[in-house]
Amino acid sequence: MSQNMKNMTRHPPVRVIAITGCDGAGKSTLASGLVNRLSPGLAAELCYLGQSSGRLGEWISRLPLIGAPFGRYLLNSAGRVHQRPASPPGNIAALAIFLLSCWRTVKFRRMLHKAHRGVLLITDRYPQAEAPGFRVDGPQLARAQGGNRWIKALRRREQALYRWMASYPPLLLLRLDIDEQTAHQRKPDHDIAALREKISVIPRLNFNGATIIDLKGQEPASRVLDASLQAVRLSLSLPPSVD
């Protein structure tokens, strides 16, 4: 663990059940299943905490005149950081990456507000500050070193945002493990290198000391849901009948 992680602030766990794992592991299916089973007896809501690059691209594309081409340029430039991690991004690409992280922070603040009001949030993904890269829900600008003062300032600010989000660990984190072949069969349109990176990195993350339950994403969805419900009931001290 890095020195920054050792010294990171840690708030008490928030009323959140987070779900992480590689694409194809069944995060969305499990999240929806938990909300459906828990909501009749609890105020439970689904919350997506990915960086939502698609939504940002849609918003930029609606801008007059420069919208569509500029939106495509920003997102393509941001995506190239994955392919060339040793080279710092350009100024515009760095800004696009930073804006995506800012939007994730906005969603995280909304989640905290609801959790503090007593709502149980079931989140698809959860930000972390241990490993860089949007693929594993970490700070993207930290994948590359160097750059001018503007880029270095954005990198420091983005890392601060992720350290702040990671300082609020979830009450329970359900981590879905899956093998590369199964993940690619379920998500054939996804880049195999991206899937391989997630499968390699996510099991090593500790999410700032969160309570983690590892589940097998290859198993039938009903079995994964039942095991998850049992873990959630224990975390919330709920009787078996509340689901």
Tokens 């079931």 -> residue = 122
**Architecture category of domain 3-52+101-234 in CATH:** 3-Layer(aba) Sandwich (3.40)
Where is 167: in which H helix or E strand?
Answer: none
In a 10 Å sphere around its CB, with 0-12 CB exposed, 13-18 middle and 19+ buried, how is residue 66 labelled?
A: exposed
Q: Is the model more confident about 9 or about 66? A: 9
Q: Kindly give, in sequence order, each residue whose CB lies less than 8 Å from that of residue 129, ignoring residues fewer than 6 positions away.
A: 4, 5, 8, 138, 139, 159, 162, 163, 165, 166, 208
Q: What is the mean predicted confidence (pLDDT) over 129-146? A: 92
Angle between helices 221-236 and 27-38 (to 10 degrees): 50
Q: What is the mean predicted confidence (pLDDT) over 5-19? A: 86
Specify the amino acid at residue 221.
A
pLDDT given at position 93? 84
> Does pTM surpass 0.95?
no
pLDDT given at position 235? 94
Specify the amino acid at residue 18.
A
Which candidate, 43, 22, 19, places its Cα nearest to that of 227? 19
C-alpha to C-alpha distance for 208 and 143, rounded to whole angstroms: 20
Summarised one tens digit per residue, pLDDT across range 108-137 is: 999 999 999 999 999 999 999 999 999 999
Tokens of 94: 């760095």
pLDDT given at position 1? 44
pLDDT at 185 over 70: yes
C-alpha to C-alpha distance for 151 and 90, rounded to whole angstroms: 8
pLDDT given at position 9? 84
Summarised one tens digit per residue, pLDDT across range 203-240 is: 999 999 999 999 999 999 999 999 999 999 999 988 76
Confidence of residue 3 (pLDDT cuts 50, 70, 90): very low
C-alpha to C-alpha distance for 106 and 240, rounded to whole angstroms: 35
pLDDT given at position 107? 94
pLDDT given at position 211? 97
Q: What is the mean predicted confidence (pLDDT) over 173-197? A: 93
Q: Kindly give, in sequence order, each residue whose CB lies less than 8 Å from that of residue 241, ignoring residues fewer than 6 positions away.
A: none
Cβ atoms of residues 10 and 209 within 8 Å: yes
Cβ atoms of residues 23 and 183 within 8 Å: yes
Confidence of residue 77 (pLDDT cuts 50, 70, 90): low
Summarised one tens digit per residue, pLDDT across range 16-71 is: 999 999 999 999 999 999 999 998 888 999 999 987 655 555 555 554 544 556 55
Q: Could you give phi then psi for residue 158, rounded to 5 degrees? A: -65, -40
Spell out the alpha helix ranges (H) of 19-127. Answer: 27-38, 53-61, 67-83, 91-116
C-alpha to C-alpha distance for 126 and 104, rounded to whole angstroms: 10
Q: Kindly give, in sequence order, each residue whose CB lies less than 8 Å from that of residue 106, ignoring residues fewer than 6 positions away.
A: none
